[in-house]
Amino acid sequence: MASQDLMTEGDNNLMTPSVGSLGHPEFCRRPCIFFAAGSCNNYISCGYCHCEHEKRVTHLDRRNRELLHSMAAPDRLELLLPLLEQRLESKGLREVAGELLQTLQEALQELRATSEQDRPEDSKEPAPKSQSSRVKSGVRKLPCISILGWAVRASPVYLSGLPGDSADDEDGLGGDQALKSPFSRATDQRVTDALNQLRAGMSTAILTDDVLRIMI
Ligand SMILES: [Zn+2]
Ligand SMILES: [Zn+2]
């Protein structure tokens, strides 16, 4: 029997993954600029994505970012959760992300319960319809990981303990209160665990055990 040549020319992505590529293309971290420029010295331990991205990641414009920042955490999560679900559905990831969605639903309920206790006479003003439909159409263009970031952290970054995440933190982003999770520590850990499980599940086919070990 002829041995199969696993690495064909189109398989560049498979030969050069990195920890940050886990979950590519919807749940990986942003593309590595060094790798794109030719070579990345961090190789497999790089916290950024070494897979090919079709086009530049879309970002929210300033108005939408400001609106999301101004919303109460439960309102923001409630607005964005269905959009994350739709995006997952359209990418064929609804099933594999079931655990993550379930965890987020429970986190939202927990958040609602505590925020009602804390502020019984809360004068929360939901965003006007026109504004929320504008933000929705912006969010629909984002990859899942960014929607998750906005939903939970009010930020395009979702810190989840990958090597690149802590690098971001050292760059000063960690001081930003916007990056703080509104959830309890335990709930936040469950969300992060579900995300990392999903990333690993999506990537086992292209990554070696070594990478998964680095991740864990
Ligand atoms: Zn990627
Ligand atoms: Zn890299």
Q: What is the pLDDT of residues 75-111, one digit of tens each?
A: 999 999 999 999 999 999 999 999 999 999 999 999 9
Task: Check residue 12 and give its pLDDT.
Answer: 43
Range of the domain at 168: 14-215
The answer to whether residue 145 scores a pLDDT higher than 80 is yes
154-168 pLDDT, tens per residue? 888 776 655 445 434
* Residue 140 burial (CB count, 10 A): 13
pLDDT band at 119 (very low <50, low <70, confident <90, very high): low
Residue 122 lies in a domain: yes
Q: Tell me which of 66 and 5 has the higher pLDDT.
A: 66
CA of 28 to the centre of ligand 1 (A): 5
71 CA from centroid of ligand 2 (Å): 34
Instruction: Please tell me the distance between residue 114's alpha carbon and the centre of ligand 1 in angstroms.
Output: 36
Q: Which pLDDT does position 30 carry in this prediction?
A: 84
Q: Which ligand is nearest to the CA of 32?
A: 2
Domain assignment present for 5: no
pLDDT of residue 182: 86
Please enumerate, as own/partner, the contacts of 195-201 that have beta carbons within 8 Å and a separation of 24 or more: 195/27, 195/100, 195/148, 195/158, 195/160, 196/22, 196/160, 196/161, 197/99, 197/100, 198/23, 198/27, 198/96, 198/97, 198/99, 198/100, 199/22, 199/23, 199/27, 199/28, 200/22, 201/96
User: 8 in a domain, yes or no?
Assistant: no
- Report whether pLDDT(207) > 90: no
* Location of structure tokens 């070696």: 208
2 lies in some domain? no
- Confidence bin at 200 (pLDDT 50/70/90): confident
| pLDDT value at residue 162 | 52
pLDDT confidence of residue 158: 76
Q: Say if residues 161 and 192 touch (Cβ distance below 8 Å).
A: yes
Domain count, the chain: 1
Which residue would you say has higher pLDDT here, 23 or 179? 23
When the pLDDT of each residue in the chain is averaged and rounded to a whole number, the result is 78
Per-residue model confidence (pLDDT) at position 112: 92
Residue 202 lies in a domain: yes
Does 4 map to a domain?
no
> Mean pLDDT over residues 119-142, rounded?
77
For residue 58, the CA-to-ligand 2 centroid distance in Å is: 20
- pLDDT of 215 higher than 90: no
- Residue 79 within a domain: yes
Q: Examine residue 71 and state whether it is found in any structural domain, yes or no.
A: yes
Percentage of the chain lying above the pLDDT 70 cut: 70
Ligand nearest to the CA of 36: 2
Q: State which residues have CB under 5 angstroms from ligand 1, the bound ion.
A: 24-25, 28, 49, 51
- The complex's ipTM? 0.99
